[in-house]
Structure 1
Amino acid sequence: MNFAGGEQVRDVRQRTLDLEGAEGNRLAGDVYDTGKQGAPVLLVHGGGQTRYSWAGTAERLARDGMSAIVIDQRGHGESDWVEGGHYRFRDYAADIVAVAEAIGRDFGAAPVAIGASLGGIASTLAQGERAQGVLRALVLVDVVPRMDPEGVGRITGFMAERMHEGFGSVDEAADAVAAYLPNRKRPRSTEGLRKNLRLHEDGRYRWHWDPRFLMGAFSVNSTALEDMRRMEEVARGLTIPLLLVRGGSSELVPEESARHFMELVPHARYCDVTGAGHMVAGDRNDIFADAAIDFIRSLGAS
């Protein structure tokens, strides 16, 4: 784990971070703290997102005395596109095992993982890969084993629609996002969206992730049913503290699916965030961050 650079974000320090995934793939990230090493919290984004989606939450965690570690998952953001095109849920889980074990060695304590969508599936599967587990606790953000297939199809359809064609400008991409999320207030600036795009040699902007993530021979969809069954199996045997956070207006996790998950993990806590869709932290980060911090505080000293 190699730290470099450093900048002050008010009283929170943000430093770049390089980690190694399960295949020797480089995973780019950042660590947020106040100059002192606190209890480690690993934040893992959803499919099609980057580590920057966690910036507000990571800063809140750091202000509360924790060390928040955010990463770009394989094939996303500034992390390596994996040569073999391995982007199955199980491959993302293998990276989380590698990262969590590295954090455990450096901090002397296993991290709490906060995983949204893809990140939550990967973190759950990772916990099941080791007999003693690799995580101290787990926060699942709008993800359960039995998600609404129509909602999943809508999201993946949006991601794939302009995957190859791209956009002529960042503003054009912003128009596409606004049409997809008509109920979300459009940001005044497109700078945040720019981090989710790459400018190619043909002058077109395309999403930052490897297209094989959705369409390759080892895509996230190639073994999805098997991997989600495995997630349910692992969930049934979880003993670590767990918080399930659902967006009150989630298009992926209906209430009955959340109730089913709580039956699988009866010791888990549950939080329903009113006014949030699938992108809970993006829609209502104030409520989400409060719930996550309260949960982590309840674990006591590491």
Structure 2
Amino acid sequence: MTNANDLLAPSRLLLRGSGGIELAADQFGPVDGPLVVLLHGGGQNRHSWKQTGAQLGASGMRVVAVDARGHGDSQWAPDRDYRRHTMVQDLLLVLDQLGAPAVLVGASMGGITGLLATAEPGGKAISALVLVDIVTRPEPEGIARVLDFMGNYRDGFDSIEQAADAVAGYLPHRPRPKNTDGLLRNLRERDGRWYWHWDPEMLADRLEDPSEMIEQMEDAARLLRIPVLVVRGMRSDVVSAEGVEAFQRLVPHAELVEIGGAAHTAAGDDNDSFTDAVAKFVLSTRK
């Protein structure tokens, strides 16, 4: 019999992506529960889902949070290949290894990966899709702000406190944490300086033609027949009300949950509201 405490503490998985790249993952909950796969946003890692994973796991779901290539404890691409297509192939291989239909929950970059994957032959393994503050037509200014933040600190930080100041400036709607230990999951020390724990070469592929990305996402959205939930932070500068309306014209059956005090980082801004919305959606797809 599974102990309740075991559901809260994740077990470590090592998965394989395209080209044999090693992908780190955490698994919460019972192995025979309905499968939920969590994909983080650009510059984040699987630890962004720690609370959500623990809560969903405790409710009986099998939750797998994956570090994308070049992020967290996953391998950096030796050929610097971080193209959207390659990340989609990573996801499809992960789903094949996990061996069950999955509800895919993707934030920002992870949501783009999940949406594009649904249009691939292997995408039939995705039984439902949750897009966390991402739609087919995100706001260019908001995307630019995200990329600027990621690109501004390639030379690292003198201290963890300096990194915390940078995050506080990027997320002014959040109180600055008094304890900065949580940042250690996102930073690595090298030669006396602290660096974000993701491959900065990833940004080169973010310069791909945005109109091409929109076209690919809209093509995938038109094909969606599975249950879909959009979670929007009402303070987001990446997903506007107009962007949601445009998405729902493509996917009329898509549900919408808006979180009042949340911005683009909706899952971290109000984790309880976010997790409740995802859990309710996942359970509804099981009926």
TM (norm. structure 2) is: 0.95
Shift of 1:129: 1.1
Q: What residue number does 2:159 align with? A: 169
Shift of 1:224: 4.0
| Counterpart residue identity of residue 198, structure 1 | R
Give unmatched runs, 5+ long, in structure 2.
none
Q: What residue number does 2:41 align with? A: 46
| Residue 199 of structure 2 corresponds to residue 210 of structure 1 | yes
Distance 2:111 2:119 in 1: 13
Q: What residue number does 1:186 align with? A: 176
Q: Secondary structure at the match of 1:177?
A: helix
RMSD across aligned positions (CA): 1.6
- For residues 191-239 of structure 1, the C-alpha deviation after alignment (integer angstroms, 9 at most, x for no partner) is 1111111111x21111111111003xxx132254323311111001100
- For residues 166-196 of structure 1, the C-alpha deviation after alignment (integer angstroms, 9 at most, x for no partner) is 1011111001111222221111211111111
Distance 1:9 1:213 in 2: 37
Deviating runs (4+, > 6 A) in structure 1? none
| Residue 185 of structure 2 corresponds to residue 195 of structure 1 | yes
Q: Which one of 25, 28, 38 corresponds to residue 29 of structure 1? A: 25
| Counterpart residue identity of residue 210, structure 1 | D
| Counterpart residue identity of residue 11, structure 2 | R
- For residues 122-171 of structure 1, the C-alpha deviation after alignment (integer angstroms, 9 at most, x for no partner) is 011111111762201110000011111111111110111111x1101111
| Residue 146 of structure 2 corresponds to residue 151 of structure 1 | no
Shift of 1:10: 6.5
Q: What residue number does 1:142 align with? A: 133
Q: Secondary structure at the match of 2:121?
A: coil
Q: What residue number does 1:231 align with? A: 217
Q: Secondary structure at the match of 1:136?
A: strand
Q: What residue number does 1:283 align with? A: 269
Q: Secondary structure at the match of 1:70?
A: strand
- For residues 92-136 of structure 1, the C-alpha deviation after alignment (integer angstroms, 9 at most, x for no partner) is 1111111112112xxxx3111100000000011111111762201
* Higher share of residues assigned helix: 2
Shift of 1:13: 3.7
Taking structure 1 as reference, are residues 205 and 9 closer, same or farther at Cα in structure 2, changes over 3 Å only? farther
Residue-pair matches, total:
285
Give unmatched runs, 5+ long, in structure 1.
1-6
Q: Which one of 240, 245, 249 corresponds to residue 235 of structure 2? A: 249
Q: Secondary structure at the match of 2:126?
A: coil
Distance 1:36 1:206 in 2: 35
Q: Which one of 67, 71, 75 corresponds to residue 80 of structure 1? A: 75
Distance 1:209 1:43 in 2: 18
TM (norm. structure 1) is: 0.91
1:12–1:32 contact (8 Å) kept in structure 2: yes
Q: What residue number does 1:260 align with? A: 246
Q: What residue number does 1:3 align with? A: none
Q: Which one of 16, 19, 31 corresponds to residue 20 of structure 1? A: 16
1:251–1:278 contact (8 Å) kept in structure 2: yes
Shift of 1:83: 1.0
Q: Secondary structure at the match of 1:222?
A: coil
2:234–2:263 contact (8 Å) kept in structure 1: yes
* Bigger mean CA offset, 281-290 vs 130-139: 130-139
Distance 1:8 1:293 in 2: 18
Query: Structure 1 vs Structure 2: percent identity of aligned residues?
Result: 43
1:89–1:224 contact (8 Å) kept in structure 2: no
Distance 2:135 2:157 in 1: 33
